Amino acid sequence: EVQLVQSGAEVKKSGESLKISCKGSGYSFTSYWIGWVRQMPGKGLEWMGVIYPGDSDTRYSPSLQGQVTISADKSISTAYLHWSSLKASDTATYYCARALTGNSKTFDYWGQGTLVTVSS
């Protein structure tokens, strides 16, 4: 069974750093891209970027490039989202999702989400 399990909720202050995780299981983690999606409180879904754990090739949304770093450790089947200096506007729920990129292109399996709350 394909599963993506994300790390737990975080409460941080502005200026602090943070790394949240997404662990994949039940499939070949290095053979599928992993995407990250942001959902700010009461708002819609926003694509942030994707990473291919096989070689760490990464693509970012133009609006978010430089604001966050996506990485992966294929040895432990885990993808990460990292902030070096959080802002209050980073408060959101973050989802990871497995991306199909061959003849089909979609996000087929999703993590349960990680709520990040940043206080100023």
Partner 1 sequence: QSALTQPRSVSGSPGQSVTISCTGTSSDVDGYNYVSWYQQHPGKAPKLMIYDVNKRPSGVPDRFSGSKSGNTASLTISGLQAEDEADYYCCSYAGSYSYVFGTGTTVTVL
Which residues sit at the interface with partner 1, rule CB under 8 A? 33, 35, 37, 44-47, 50, 59, 61-63, 95, 97, 99-101, 104-108, 110-113
CA angle 8, 119, 93 (to 5 degrees): 40
DSSP one-letter code for 64: T
Q: Quick one: 75 or 103, whose CB is closer to partner 1? A: 103
DSSP one-letter code for 15: T
- In whole angstroms, the minimum distance from the beta carbon of 80 to partner 1 comes to 18
CA pair distance 116, 36, nearest whole angstrom: 14
- In whole angstroms, the minimum distance from the beta carbon of 113 to partner 1 comes to 5
Q: Quick one: 13 or 43, whose CB is closer to partner 1? A: 43
The residue to which tokens 């770093």 are assigned: 69
